[in-house]
Amino acid sequence: MINPTTENFKCLQWNARGLTKSKLEEFRHYLSLVNPEVALLSETHWNSGFAPKFKSHVHILRKDRPNRLGGGVAILISKSLQFSPITHNPPDTIEAIGASILFKNNQHIDFTSIYIPRANCETEEIEAMLDRSNPYLLGGDFNGHHPLWESNATVNKAGKSVYEALINDQDACLITPPNLGTRLDPVSGKASTIDLTITAASIATSAKITLGSYMGSDHLPIIITLNASVKHYTSRPIAWAINEEKWPAWNKRLEELLKSQNFSEITDPATATTVFTDGLEASNEQFFRRTSPSCRATHKGPARPWLDEE
């Protein structure tokens, strides 16, 4: 268990089927009603020329399709949360983006929004998404059919891959109730369950799932409640006390980390930012020490991080 006390951490999961300007106001209103700390979105249909903003969720991690319309995944994060982006490198058939959020007792939960548009994925690819050192929640539109979560379903490739990944990983738990009915066919009205939520065992037992109301998509929003207590921003961000003698080794380590991720070949700005930030964090952890900022809680956005000379 992440936290033995009763705490409610809400996560919204939704295939928006295009979160365009015409849907934004309704979605913003829904966010204010549900008030989730995190929102996992798929099929955003966003592009580089469209930059929506949300009052309560100022942190937006997104991965748009670079060369064609449709698709896209995003994570909206409450302005009071501490997080770091997660670098996922799935094949072209899977769209995914992640964030590791800090909870109390310095524990993290990794959240990933995933979209598999053509139900085309391998078991090993799903297993790679579940291979996390922290407890995790993986949610999105898998387009997978299987009797494990949908009675009388005809198994397709994505369904088979997800099922086998669950069987092979003893820590992975599907918390989506059978026949939840997350998508309604616009022609027949028939419900199917293709939006799934998978978590680590440590947070699965206390997790609760409910369906939200219709919001202009053929998919219904899913509200996930976790028994976990989040850690909000402090009045000062984490600072690093630097040691001038360690700068050469720090630089060398950062270069090694960036080279291992083929940083110079990355063309996506969001991915480049994530890889560079992760490299900075890892180098700091290895060569510098953290200072102790004030522990006063605030719901304001974070100040910029800084380095202090030792």
The alpha-carbon radius of gyration of the chain (Å, integer) is: 20
pLDDT tens digit string along 111-145? 999 999 999 999 999 999 999 999 999 999 999 99
Neighbours of 7 (CB within 10 A): 16
Q: Is-above-0.95 flag for pTM? A: no
Q: What is the set of domains in the chain, with CATH numbers?
A: 8-227 (3.60.10.10), 239-309 (no CATH)
- 222 close to 283: Cβ distance less than 8 angstroms: no
What is the distance between the alpha carbons of residues 249 and 268, in angstroms, rounded to a whole number? Answer: 28
- Look-up of token digits 């995933």: 114
pLDDT band at 300 (very low <50, low <70, confident <90, very high): very low
Residues 47, 39 contacting (CB under 8 angstroms) = no
In sequence order, which ranges of 122-260 are alpha helices (DSSP H)?
123-130, 157-168, 201-204, 247-260
Q: What is the mean pLDDT of the chain?
A: 88
Cα Dmax for the chain: 69
> Mind listing the pLDDT tens digit for each residue in 217-258?
999 999 999 998 887 765 555 677 888 888 889 889 999 999
DSSP single-letter state for residue 90: -
CA nearest neighbour of 28 among 50, 46, 7, 53: 53
pLDDT digits (tens, 9 = 90+) for 136-193: 999 999 999 999 999 999 999 999 999 999 999 999 999 999 999 999 998 998 999 9
pLDDT digits (tens, 9 = 90+) for 198-214: 999 999 999 999 999 99
The pLDDT, as a whole number, for residue 233 is 65
For residues 37-54, average pLDDT: 94
73: CB partners within 8 A, 6+ apart: 40, 41, 42, 44, 62, 63, 95, 96, 97, 113, 114, 115, 140
The token pair that represents 282 in the structure block = 């890892």
Residue 64, token pair as written in the block: 């748009």
The pLDDT score that the predictor gives to residue 234 is 55
Phi-psi region of 216 (alpha: psi -120 to 50; beta: other; left: phi over 0): left
Distance, in Å, from the CA atom of 107 to the CA atom of 7, rounded to the nearest integer, reads 15
Average the pLDDT over each of 1-5, 36-40, 174-178 and give the range with the smallest value: 1-5
